[in-house]
């Protein structure tokens, strides 16, 4: 069975939906960010602070290679994973790409806890919205390359997971 690869901006529900989706499909769940943290022995915000984004992106590429080599898993990517065309090609080779989207208000609500989102944490309250809107616009074309797109705004993770089960049925064979 092909992998189901969840891509999308931070706060769109990739981890929450991914866990439920893996359970519904009877396969393993593979969260790239958690794998990177386990490998590095520290949380992502600390990786960014101590080693910088280029170091993190190199570890991310390693994690993508390892995940893409597997089959029959649900992969939750980090929000910026799709910035690297090689990552996308590797994930697409044995997987169906599902972009989870959400409006800026939903993303701001879901990412309001500081300390876990290095890309947003440097912005103050007013600038957080601007940062989200700017990054969404920068990455929009990357997320639009997905096979399936699901707006998660105002939707429960289980509802989104059920939709993906149905929408990916033909790809997963």
- What is the per-residue pLDDT for 166? 94
- Whether 95 has a binding-site annotation, put simply, is no
- Whether 114 has a binding-site annotation, put simply, is no
Would the pLDDT of 161 be above 80? Answer: yes
- Whether 8 has a binding-site annotation, put simply, is no
- What is the per-residue pLDDT for 80? 87
CATH assignment at residue 153: 3.40.50.300
Is the residue at 156 inside a domain?
A: yes
**pLDDT per residue as tens digits for the range 18-44:** 999 999 999 999 999 999 999 999 999
Reference 42, options 62, 59, 30; nearest CA is 59
Residues 6+ apart with CB under 8 A from 120: 10, 111, 128, 131, 132
Is the residue at 172 inside a domain?
A: no
- The pTM of the full predicted model, rounded to 2 decimals, is 0.90
**pLDDT per residue as tens digits for the range 111-146:** 876 555 555 555 555 587 888 888 889 889 999 999
Euclidean distance between CA atoms 48 and 118, whole angstroms: 7
Is the residue at 169 inside a domain?
A: no
In percent, the amount of the chain with pLDDT more than 90 equals 71
Is the residue at 36 inside a domain?
A: yes
* Higher-scoring residue by pLDDT: 58, 131: 58
- Whether 154 has a binding-site annotation, put simply, is no
- The total of structural domains in the chain comes to 1
Is the residue at 173 inside a domain?
A: no
- Whether 57 has a binding-site annotation, put simply, is yes
First to last CA, the chain: 6
Is the residue at 59 inside a domain?
A: yes
- Whether 11 has a binding-site annotation, put simply, is yes
Is the residue at 32 inside a domain?
A: yes
Domain holding 92, by residue range, is 3-164
Residue 90 in tokens: 């590797």
């Amino acid at each position: 069975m092909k992998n189901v690869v969840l891509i999308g901006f931070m706060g769109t529900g990739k981890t929450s939906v991914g866990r439920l989706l893996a359970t519904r499909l009877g396969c393993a769940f593979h969260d790239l960010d958690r794998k990177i943290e386990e490998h590095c022995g520290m949380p992502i915000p600390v990786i960014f602070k101590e080693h910088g984004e280029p170091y993190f992106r190199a570890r991310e590429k390693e994690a993508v290679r390892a995940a893409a080599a597997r089959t029959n898993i649900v992969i939750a990517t980090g929000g910026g994973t799709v910035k690297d065309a090689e990552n996308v090609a590797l994930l697409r080779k044995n997987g169906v790409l599902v972009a989870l989207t959400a409006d800026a208000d939903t993303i701001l609500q879901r990412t309001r806890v500081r300390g876990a989102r290095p890309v947003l944490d440097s912005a103050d309250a007013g600038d957080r919205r601007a940062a989200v809107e700017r990054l969404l616009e920068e990455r929009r074309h990357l997320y639009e390359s997905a096979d399936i797109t699901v707006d998660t705004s105002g939707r429960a993770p289980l509802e989104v997971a059920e939709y993906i089960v149905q929408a990916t049925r033909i790809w997963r064979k």
